[in-house]
Structure 1
């Protein structure tokens, strides 16, 4: 199997208490650490990469984001999915080309821009064009931002998810969905569900989120922020 097929297989037939856990490297060194720890695949966080490059979340130029992803994919042998925000205004075909050039096996695509939800029909059309251009070469994780920028109504999240699945999404990511609505989301969404978790031990564990309905667990910029906090403590100790 090639890396994309391996990545797809990692999402299939998972036990409820064993979701796919994908740590988010923000640079090549971190990616190697996660692979050495035994993780079978990785998923870059756009906010973590942005911080490592000196940008605020959402303001990284597309060229720099894709270059950062390429450095990570070159450093490891496991599949790497990339968070490419809402696509940087690029056409679906160009997004596909840029991801493949960077060595990614898939991506996250947000359904909001500037803190405002996109029209779900227009987003579904965009995802369908992306899927057609990818021709099976990329795993599409469609982010649903109802709990981040919308009214937090799980039924609306399910409606958006259904439109994106019909457009060809392999996985749906209802970011910031509270744990207590996961069973409802699981019942209403017919593909793997990506849920974000906290890496600091606060909140439900990965296994608990899996029991509730999560297929895949990611951490957003949480790991990068924990690493920065640790570095800040080390730096402080050097000047005492």
Structure 2
């Protein structure tokens, strides 16, 4: 009785040094080499992305300088990017932050333009790096992750802005605005309004002078005698005396 034996064929070896399965005839590449190849391919792709982002930054610079974003319905450059580039508000803020800090951080911007620094890394540098530390940050930023950059750059502080001098007061208001000048005495409202007002009230409230008339003409002659205001004639004229040229009611002209 014969026995059947199943012979297993050995795996083949490809030219790259990896084994080839006899069943599928697909090369089995070692994991380390596959991971290394993926990283190399990723570097190529990210380089293209960084180059495209550098072009987008250059366009953002031009739009900001010439204010080309100021069209109907657009509130800001960030709004313009979000509407017409289809990016998120945070990504639009990153683009604007890097573009506006370029004059102060030229080394950072050069790293972005050459593809050594991603937009996410550059945005952290732009938000946390003073102009005096541009060189040293540009050296290690390409080798750090975004999280590492946030932790490392948070120690930097921007210098306090110089205080804005207050405008000098106008010459006519200089005396009133002088805090060292002692205030003068306040006017007495009684002395201002009471002097004339009280005099008027006294003149209106008091009666005619003694022995004189309460009604005097332009020449100073009295129309009312010593009887004063109490003596009123039948015709309604005080004192019963009719001055010259005055007509009695219902009567003729009377001579004074």
TM-score range, shorter chain: under 0.3
- TM superposition score normalised by structure 1: 0.23
- TM superposition score normalised by structure 2: 0.22
Question: Which one has the bigger strand percentage?
Answer: 1
